[in-house]
Amino acid sequence: MQEWTGLLPVFPLAGFLLLVLSRGRMSRGIAGVIGAGSVGLSFLLALGIAIATLNNGGQAYTTVLWQWMQVGDFAPGFSFYVDGLTLVMILVISGVGFLIHLYATGYMADDPGFARFFSYMNLFVAAMLVLVLADNLLLLYLGWEGVGLCSYLLIGFWYDKPANGYAARKAFVVTRVGDTSMAIGLFLLFSQLGTLNIQQMLTLAPQQWAVGSGIAVAASALLLGGAVGKSAQLPLQTWLPDAMAGPTPISALIHAATMVTAGVYLIARTHVLFELAPSVQLLVAFIGLATLLMSGFTALTQTDIKRILAYSTISQIGYMFLALGVGAWSAAVFHLMTHAFFKALLFLAAGTVILSLHHEQDIFRMGAMRRRLPVSFWCFLVGSAALTALPFTSGFYSKDEILLAALHQEHYGMLLWSGGVLGAFLTALYSFRLVFVVFFGRDRHQSHATASHGHDDPQAAVVEAMSPVMFFPLLLLGLLALGGGFIHVPVDAVFGSGAQEEAHASQLVHTLMILIPIAGVMIAWFVYGSRSYQKAGEHLREQLLASGIGRRLHRFWFSGWGMDTLYEWVFVRPFLTLAALNRRDAVDQIYGWVAQAARVGNSAVVMLQTGNLRWYAISLVGGLVIVIGLGVWR
Amino acid sequence: MDAIPYEHGLILAAVLFVCGLLGVLTRRNIVFVLMSLEIMLNACGLAFVVASARWQHAEGQIMYLMILTLAAAEVAVGLGLIIQMYRRFHTVDISVLNEMKG
Amino acid sequence: MTLLFYSAGAIALIATLSVIISTNVVHALVYLIISLLSVAVIFFALGAPFAAMLEAIVYAGAIMVLFLFVMMMLNLGQATEDEERAWMRPSLWIGPGVLSGILLLQFVSTMLTHDVTLAPVEVSVRDISLLLFGPWLLAVELASMLLLAGLIAAYHLAKK
């Protein structure tokens, strides 16, 4: 199986080409089979490769496909490197990707851009596989930009709405900031180490650079910039909530399960560089902590179901960054995997809710969906439990590892740990607020529906749109979200044994970490869920909103801590002002003169063309006289 | 037989040629222009025949034949154009035909 | 022969000058025929009787008759002649005259450098025919094509 590694991205790429070249003339059935089937083939191949590699003792290997280019000493290959980390990533990408493709054949069944959707999705999977398989940073960068492009295309998938196009551009431009930083990082690494091959770099760097040396700090900080942009961490997180403009399967695949974790993958892949720069590593931890708290608070106040999930994604990736920052590499990868399971599950379940309500996304127009959409309800409940890290779900194990690792950080352990626990509390609060508001309580949608479409049958409005192709992925992801914690991530060899010490903590700490999320769930139940406390809960909410500080906090959090406004004033407005000022470009003026000179010359020459035949004849003879004169009287 | 300096033949051809040229440049009546063109062509033919006699070659006369053919074709087309022009504009003044002005 | 050459040359020159300063089209045409016929005499004096015959038959005969027919079709009357007279301003002749003078000077200055006399040797029709249908066959074919093209073009252009 291992010799077929090169085929992994080929299947989705072939699917992409087939779908693109058919130009939408293909029937939906065939397009769906090609779209989902190509990713399914990749998954089977990935599974075979994983089994073969693990039977081989997890030995890492490199597959060289061809030499990409050669410029002097710089000779990046088109070659793939497979080790434990890669295996986890390709299994998650192709596995979760396949389930989401399958789900999307049902979800997108009525969309006119069906084939286009699957072509983009396939291209995305191909690019993502290239990203994680690449054995050098240049090839990784190719995949990195490829997924960025697909993300842009898919956010703006419903391009006839200007807001979607705006969201797509915003995502593209904001991630470009990070990508530029990463590109500069690559230049620096190449100029210093003379290679972009990741494994060579990781062995060369510790030999050449002292711990904490300036070069190491600069290189890892620049790489961190790229990771922050792609993974939507502070301060480049503003694009992800708007990215929810795309179809829900996109949000599940790209903006929750796979692409946004590329930054985590990048840092884990180049972890040696970050170990050489402890200050940057600490910065990673604090970025993660700040992001997870900030987006946790924001998620509390949002009302759009997909935006809540988007902010929870940002916050969970914050946890991964926290883990990376404290050196718990395998815990970060473990959380990456479990997060892919439960967040994909949450998004897909949310997708069925949205589809059932005819693209209604406001949670306060839902309610009591528990009985109407039982499958979505149970899936959502399982996903939320895993997100909240309730005991025995997959999220519990991964988050537990992260928090324990954070506690053992040398200087700031207590601070990081308590921040993480506060984040866990917030997670419980907002995710079960979502569950209780959407699936319990009064059915607000029905009254709303009756009010707006009086003659429509309100009962027919809410029917669970659940075909088998949508049910099966939900079921499987539900099982994985529950039991995924028992999968052992085979990354010990990648990160060395030293980083993976068994974390010990007191009984009290363990109990606290179990109880705090449960407390969050209880409070959410008290405020939003239970019928008996409903009055009190509503009263409490009104009280909070009525008080000045509460209202201001709400507005502040709702706007995502004012980051969008800040960027609007700091970057967008000045840029637009400059652009308006420089509308008559100084450089353009020079070319304007060229055009002006051509115009003047033209009008001068036009005067020569009189249309008078004798004038032409005289000019002709004059020329003849001159030429003959040159010959005769030299 | 008396000898003729061959330059005299060529000078005669040149003078005839320049006369034709003068006609082309000065006349406004297109019929005169066409006649002057004929004069110029004929002068060229004369130069060829003179050269043929000078070098004792018959090829000069062949060239004269070619020029004759050319003149015949040119006159045919030119007269056709003159008829067409007179039909359209009712004049033979070439200064009227300046619609191709830039 | 010398006398023939110079007298015919003088007639040709005078006739040609008359063509370009004449105001009546038909008069100009007759002067042109005289000019062409005297050139034919010059050809004869230079030992080219075949060329002389062609000059008389084709040029002075066929082509000029063509001109004459067209003149008859156009039927340019007294009005045109008055117009011609009005256009004959001396100022109009300055520029072309200067240019033509320079050109003539250039021609003559190149020709007066040698002094080789002509000893006319008659070139018979037979010699020319042998050349025409021997090495110059392709040129004859091309000439016939040219005439055909001229025929078709003249037919098309003169059509109503």
Helix, strand or coil, per DSSP, at residue C118: strand
Nearest beta carbon to residue C93 from set B26, B53, B92:
B26
Is residue A451's pLDDT more than 80? no
Q: With beta carbons under 8 A apart, name residues in chain B contacting A625.
A: none
Question: What beta strand segments (E) does C39-120 contain?
Answer: 117-118
Rounded (5°) CA angle A598-A604-A608: 130
The answer to whether the CB atoms of B75 and C66 lie below 8 A apart is yes
Point out the least confidently predicted range of A117-126, A354-363, A595-604.
A354-363
- A442 HSE (CA, 13 A, CB side): 8
Rounded Cα distance between B70 and B77, Å, is: 11
Instruction: Check A607 against B21: CB less than 8 A apart.
Output: no
pLDDT of residue A261: 86
pLDDT digits (tens, 9 = 90+) for A476-510: 888 888 887 777 777 777 776 544 455 566 777 77
Average pLDDT for chain A = 82
* pLDDT value for B16: 94
Convert the pLDDT of each residue in B16-63 to its tens digit.
Answer: 999 999 999 888 888 999 999 999 999 999 999 988 888 888 888 999
Contact A217, A277 (CB under 8 A): yes
Residue A71 pairs in a beta bridge with: A74
Residue A607 with chain B: CB contacts under 8 Å: 102
> Quick one: residue B101, left, alpha or beta (phi over 0 = left, psi -120 to 50 = alpha)?
beta
Give the C-alpha separation, B83 to B21, whole Å. Answer: 23
C29 touches chain B (CB under 8 A): yes
Percent of chain C past pLDDT 70, that is, above it, reads 94
* Residues contacting B102, CB < 8 A, separation 6+: A605, A606, A607, A608, A609, A611
**A521: nearest Cα among A420, A624, A396, A430:** A430
Q: What is the largest CA-CA distance in chain C?
A: 56
**Res. C7 pLDDT band, cuts 50 70 90:** very high
Residue B31 touches chain A, beta carbons under 8 Å:
no
What is the structure's pLDDT at A189?
Answer: 87
Nearest beta carbon to residue C149 from set B8, B22, B73: B73
Residue A78 CA to residue A130 CA, distance in Å, equals 10
Nearest CA-CA distance, residue A592 and chain B, Å: 24
Inter-CA distances, A134 with A77, A121, A137, Å: 9, 20, 7
Least confident of A59-73, A533-547, C59-73: A533-547
Model confidence at C56, pLDDT cuts 50, 70, 90, reads very high
Contact indicator for B78, B34 with CB cutoff of 8 Å? yes
pLDDT tier at C119, thresholds 50, 70, 90: low
Residue A588 has a pLDDT of: 80
Instruction: For residues A94 and A336, give the distance between their C-alpha atoms in angstroms, rounded to a whole number.
Output: 14
- Residue A409 above 80 pLDDT? no
What's the rounded mean pLDDT across residues A97-105? 88
Give me the domains of chain B, ranges plus CATH numbers. Answer: 11-91 (1.10.287.3510)
Mean pLDDT value of segment A236-263? 83
Question: Which residues does residue A64 pair with via DSSP β-bridges, in sequence order?
Answer: A79
- Domain residue extents for chain A: 584-632
Give the ipTM.
0.89
Across the interface, whether the CB atoms of C106 and A621 are under 8 A apart is answered no
User: pLDDT for A542-598, tens place per residue?
Assistant: 777 777 777 777 777 777 777 778 888 888 888 888 888 877 777 888 888 999 999
Q: Write the pLDDT tens digit of every residue in A15-45.
A: 888 888 887 677 888 888 888 888 899 999 9
Paired strand residues for A304: A362
Please report the pLDDT score of residue C12 as a whole number: 94
Nearest by CB: A610 against B25, B94, B101? B101
